[in-house]
Structure 1
Amino acid sequence: MTIAAEAGGSVLAARYVARMASGDIAPDPGQAKVVAALAQLEQRIAARRLARKSSALGWLFARREDAIPKVRGLYIHGAVGRGKTMLVDLFYECVAVRKRKRRAHFHEFMADVHARIFQIRADMKAGRIKESDPIALVAAALYEEAWLLCFDEFHVTDITDAMILGRLFEKLFDLGVVIVATSNVAPENLYEGGLNRALFLPFIGMIQQHMDVVRIESPTDYRMEKLGGVRTWYVPRPDQTMADIDREMEKVWHRVAGVDGGAPTSIVSGGRTIPVPRAGGGAARFDFHELCGVPLGASDYLRLARSFHTVLIDHIPTLDQDRRNEAKRFITLIDEFYEKGVKVVASAAAEPEELYLGTEGAEAFEWARTVSRLHEMRSSDYIARPHGRGDSQASGDTTGLVET
């Protein structure tokens, strides 16, 4: 493999080669092609930063568009489980941009954009802002916060998003924002079959004008490979202790998240920050109490479901009537994870049907659905289900679906 030679000393390429040498990543020509493209982008960004610093008067016109070398971004598309998310995460870690960069799930980014537009329109109506173009103001604010944007699961299914994207990205590209995106579909297939799609087509041309497009052609679905043959529900046998189960869960975690075991992170949901004790390789790991013993709701669990394709949950206890709040949260958690195709690996005190001992309230009836879903989520058919594709979409309506 010639990744290092092609990349010319790229930090990203060196890190990838090191992980491959350690056995954490298998040699994959499809991924190597994307690594080379990301490494070239890494170097273009480094050259951009150097060009700004090398000008003795650079600070005078740092905000002038013609003083900022424009850098083409990268649009990576391909089938589920080929490593797109992992490669962009690696790029984000290695690229020589320390502050003004942002890594986001595309859906959450658009939710943020809508919230900003709503607030600006309210300020305009109240006379606090005199400008007349809220999208231009949002683009300017986004640029001030980050000139490198990395998106996961880039897709368009909503007509409102489709109408906003062209104007928003035109402003972002004009400002010099560099965009890296992963998607399950090629640019020309975005918003396919969508309402008034003809109005969306100029945005596709904009992507092709400002971003290099590369397809990852890997024969291996690494998500299936990592979870194939792995138990997903661990209950101690009579000859086992919970410590034995913890060691088995740790092995699964390193198989999914990588040899380094990931690192703590956090996500933002509704203005709140949710700590994620360990995250890596598109997966997250929590203790049961960290998910269901604290006041989280459906929107928080949906945010987690969109952010991680696999979640490990340690130490699910038996739940009685006195712990009905935790049971209710767990029911909601599994509902959201199931709908988004999140893979769940868990250690528990008992099998699903024996976990909830309460007999009163809605939870006692709803638990039966949770038990059914937990058993289905252990099946090979569910493991093969793409992340983000819920039961309601399994009938064949895949318009705009995207997984990484």
Structure 2
Amino acid sequence: MTPQNQFQPQLHTHTEVPRLGERSPDITGAEIVAELVPPPQFEHASFESYRPDHDYPSQVGAVERLHSFSAAASGQRPGGFFSRGRKVKPELPGIYLDGGFGVGKTHLLAALWHEAQSPKYFGTFIEYTALVGALGYQETIKELRSAKLICIDEFELDDPGDTMVMTRLLGELVATGTRVAATSNTPPNSLGEGRFAAQDFLREIQAMSANFETVRIDGLDYRRRNASGQATSIDQEDLEHMVTAMQQRGSRFTEDSFGALIRHLGTVHPSKYVKIIRDVDVIALTDAYLLTDQTDALRLVAFIDRVYDAEIPIIASGLPLNEVFDVEMMAGGYRKKYQRSQSRMVALTTGELPPHAE
């Protein structure tokens, strides 16, 4: 399928259809920071609601270790008679959850965040780098400096520049008393077999590595999900019928051509993507096609992350969305981002949405 499909006119032009491509929201630093909370599917995550697989004792061990990390942050001592009078072991300010896909790292990270005292922040690596891009480094430090805890989900190591910025940022925050908890992105096609490799994480953040304790979480993807599944693509005429039906019901939806959306994302800072999709229940995309520009592809990855966190289903025509990244991209340095995005686009177009336990 070729990009010229993006220039085909919409089938129903008699009624105005809301489009994401018409949204160019403003967002302040305070608004961006206010969005640094766990996504909706982890709004009520707790250590108690985590369901460990008892075939893997490290899962129970991780819960216990995070309980201790949380208690130390609040100045509590471990419970029990024999702990009285005992010196509390000094805690490192950082903790890194190392495990395969689907073992509950994000759930546990969110549970830790819920137990922490405010101010506290929770976001993906991409959200924090977007914050720096939007506000600048010093303003980001100013916004986050008072944090008791910063949680970073899916710490990405494929961009040396971003990794260096985040390492420097965390170093300055830890020096003023902030504690940090992080997970790393694991390729979806690993299906929970093995680990991301903690040594990679520690090597890449070497200036900060001595501040982190690694907590290993073994296990299988609890969903036993087929990460190689196919995103649903529907016929253009069927898509238009669905859009018309949503219009008649008064549903909160948008419809954009895939190409128009990609071009529009290039005009909006990624930190604003969360406001582009606000108050939308369904996203319709027409004529998806193969992307050959890496910048466009990475913008789509960031956009899909926000859509996934907001649990907004996508209906799409054209090339199945999990096939829009070309072969060179899938073999390159950002392949883990693309693999994660593929998995999420499968879920968004097939209805296999969270709750989950990445």
TM-score by length of 2: 0.50
The answer to which structure has the higher helix fraction is 1
TM-score, normalising length from structure 1? 0.45
